[in-house]
Amino acid sequence: MNISDFSAWLDGLLEPHAFKDYCVDGLCVEASDKVTRVVTGVSFRDRLIDAAIENKADCIIVHHPNGFWQGENRVLVGKFGERMRRLMQNGISLYGYHLPLDGHPEVGNNVLIAKAFGLKNLEGFIREGERTVGYVGEFEEPVSREGFVELACGVFEHGVQHALMYGSETVRKVAICSGSAASAIGEAKSLGCDTFVTGEIKENVPITVEELGFNLLACGHHRTEIFGVRALARKIEAELGIPASFVDIDNPV
């Protein structure tokens, strides 16, 4: 497939223009004029380039592109320059979709997590530009706090890193935002949620939820963000007929 047509398909699906993001969303590196095989992953890294080369892929799609992490070099020197050389020498183009792959209603991280929990009446929260990135949903019948933690261990392959259950003894209305989104606890509580599911947390979060009387599960930044890139690979293969595979290089944080 011509790379311009592939880019148009991705941008039409994920609508990066509708999100207020702080990193590049869309085509980051154009190393070939075509796309014949795709590898997806959570974060751009050396081992993902290795996997693309091994799979003879000419395209990588990630949730965290180069330059995403605070202070990461964007000048073509050092490790960044090395990665760019490897992409160009092997004809591998790179795409990154951050917030668009959190908030998408079909292949987004948060809607897929919500559905995996079996939540109903899904609505968006945490507005970033024209779209929201998180989801709020409800159980048809409340579940116990212990039952909810057990359920989460089934949703996330590696289980729960931190179960901070200081709120309601039963869980009914849940806010979900993958990655590092605990700053939205106040918004979730204002929407009537009793529980928040996110990825990683900072030192102040246990204090905040204890003093608010709120429930929060932290299940890992990377580990809550495998859902979108995995679903996107499946959709590319099903709808475009381009071989696509998700490569999970785990990160325990």
| Residues sharing a CB contact under 8 Å with residue 73, sequence separation 6 or more, in sequence order | 67, 79, 80
Would you state the pLDDT for residue 217?
A: 98
Domains defined for the chain, CATH in brackets:
3-98 (3.40.1390.30), 103-221 (3.40.1390.30)
> Quick one: which of 130, 52, 95 has its CA closest to 232?
95
pLDDT at 24: 86
- For the entire predicted model, the pTM comes to 0.96
Between the alpha carbon of residue 164 and those of residues 114, 211, 229, the distances in Å are: 19, 11, 28
Give the pLDDT confidence score for residue 71 in this predicted structure.
Answer: 60
Query: Which strands sit side by side in the sheet containing 131-144, from one edge to the other?
Result: 120-128, 131-144, 170-176, 195-198, 215-218, 162-165
So what's the pLDDT on residue 208?
97
Find, among 122, 218, 213, 219, the residue nearest to 173 by Cα: 122
Q: Could you tell me which residues come within 8 angstroms of residue 150 by beta carbon, excluding any fewer than 6 positions away?
A: none
- Reading the chain (253 residues) residue by residue, the pLDDT tens digits are 999 999 999 999 999 999 999 888 999 999 999 999 999 999 999 999 999 999 999 999 999 997 666 667 678 888 888 999 999 999 999 999 999 999 999 999 999 999 999 999 999 999 999 999 999 999 999 999 999 999 999 999 999 999 999 999 999 999 999 999 999 999 999 999 999 999 999 999 999 999 999 999 999 999 999 999 999 999 999 999 999 999 999 999 8
Give the pLDDT confidence score for residue 92 in this predicted structure. 98
The one-letter amino acid at 156:
F
pLDDT at 66: 78
